[in-house]
Amino acid sequence: MGFTFAEKILAQKSGRSGVRAGEIVIAEPDIIMSHDNSSAIAKTFAEIGVSKVWNPDKIVIILDHVVPAASEKHAQNHKTVREFVSAQGIKIFYDINHGICHQVLPEKGHAVPGRLILGSDSHTTTYGAFGCFAAGIGRTETAAIWATGKLWLLCPQTYKILIKGKSPVGVFAKDVILHIIGKLGADGADYRCVEFTGIAVADMSIDDRMLLCNMAAEMGAKAGVCMVDDTTRAWLMGHGVTEYEAVYSDADADYENVLEFDISSIEPQVACPHTVDNVKPVSEVEGMRIQQCLLGTCTNGRVSDLRLAAGILKGKKIAQGVRLIVLPASKEVYQEAMREGILETLSEAGAVICNPGCGPCLGAHQGVLAPGEVCLSTANRNFKGRMGCPNSEIYLASPATVAASAIEGAIADPRKYM
């Protein structure tokens, strides 16, 4: 019996051979990423009582969650992080002008195929789009890695998710993954590694694959992955990454489950309050009044997402009574969107363009909701209170559905604009 991608990488990174799902390994990550929560991690690190981090070159720290600082507390938090970075000699530090961790790390060449990347953020799974084994961990665990360079990991079972068919007009990768999460449930892939494969995945851009792996976290997965192919190699080449050894599951690997989804006849999908797996076709929620639209986040803040929304909004105005907040996922995305005129189109349509960062997705600033308000967002979570107010509602959809809905002031089917 062959080995899965997860078994192979975790064996490699723990210096063992023949690791099987269910075994616990002590692995050394290639990269340990943390963001604004680095100051809390630094506190635990100090408690451990070791003065220097194990390897300053493998630690990546980025400020992205509340940037620029929204309050004195946030400012102090950032200051503490900068002081820690400087005191520890950590060279890979991205200050507030870079963007969201899950977009910036790949752009800067850190998401190298075959790597084990751990991060103190649940959507660390995103780097699976580049053939990395990438998992979110806790703050305590991150502090322990800073001190020792190692962490125990349970080698997960693997689900193969086979996506077949060609997506109909108006149906995008976001609709596909929402459809799958709706079927599997929020714990449908608990502690599993999920391999996305099939003709539909082969057709997808890197942006779309990042979205799939990003949202693998929303079905409980430890990691999501798309196998490296020509599309991956071309993207990496464009970002200066040329030396790596990609890892693939063996043809006779032991999958716990193989699930097939045919997307050729699905509608645009919407996740309804207050769980990501409460998914309905857009036709069932069309007409629901909204007060805010969010276009951005580590899920859907890439150039292709902004381009798609701008294509729908070009020459149009958003409805009165609706706010459209746009956050490009990174500086690179921002500048490309600027060059292509996308930002101008969105601004002309009535959008507020914010700086790259996580923005209102986690309810800290730049567009938190008031009681009774409804937001349609391209983000990955719609938990109660997520955008700052427990008495508000969040619906999740594709950039196309968000753009169409912004025009109508209510949840709308994007297909009539395509």
Partner 1 sequence: MRDVITGRVWKFGDDVNTDVIFPGKYTYTITEPAEMARHAMEDADSSFAGHVQKDDIIVAGRNFGCGSSREQAALCLKAAGVGAVIAKSFARIYFRNAINLGLPIVICPEVVGKVAPGDMLSISFSLGKLTHKGQEYRFPPLPEEVAGILDAGGLVPYVKAKFQKSG
- Write out the binding residues for partner 1, residues 97-126 only, by CB under 8 A: 122
Stretches 31-39, 185-193, 357-365, 404-412: which one binds partner 1 (CB under 8 A)?
185-193
Nearer to partner 1, 270 or 394 (CB): 394
Q: What character string, x for contact with partner 1 (CB under 8 A) and - otherwise, covers 23-42?
A: xx-x----------------
Nearer to partner 1, 49 or 315 (CB): 49
Nearer to partner 1, 32 or 306 (CB): 32
- Any contact of residue 22 with partner 1 (CB under 8 A)? yes
CB of 320 to partner 1, least distance (A): 37
Half-sphere exposure of 270 (CA within 13 A, CB side): 26
CB of 352 to partner 1, least distance (A): 31
Nearer to partner 1, 11 or 171 (CB): 11
Residue of 32, 147, 181, 211 that binds partner 1 (CB under 8 A): 147
Nearer to partner 1, 154 or 258 (CB): 154
Residue of 63, 100, 137, 403 that binds partner 1 (CB under 8 A): 137
Q: What character string, x for contact with partner 1 (CB under 8 A) and - otherwise, covers 210-229?
A: ----------x-x-------
Nearer to partner 1, 121 or 413 (CB): 121
- Write out the binding residues for partner 1, residues 43-82 only, by CB under 8 A: 44, 47-50
CB of 237 to partner 1, least distance (A): 34
Residue of 117, 144, 310, 346 that binds partner 1 (CB under 8 A): 144
Tell me which amino acid residue 109 is. G
- Any contact of residue 141 with partner 1 (CB under 8 A)? yes
CB of 47 to partner 1, least distance (A): 6
Half-sphere exposure of 265 (CA within 13 A, CB side): 0
CB of 220 to partner 1, least distance (A): 6
Nearer to partner 1, 154 or 234 (CB): 154
| In the block, residue with structure tokens 């097939």 | 260
Backbone angles phi, psi at 56, to 5 degrees: -65, -20
Give residues in contact with partner 1 (CB under 8 A): 22-24, 26, 44, 47-50, 122, 137-138, 140-141, 143-144, 147-148, 152, 154, 187, 190-191, 220, 222
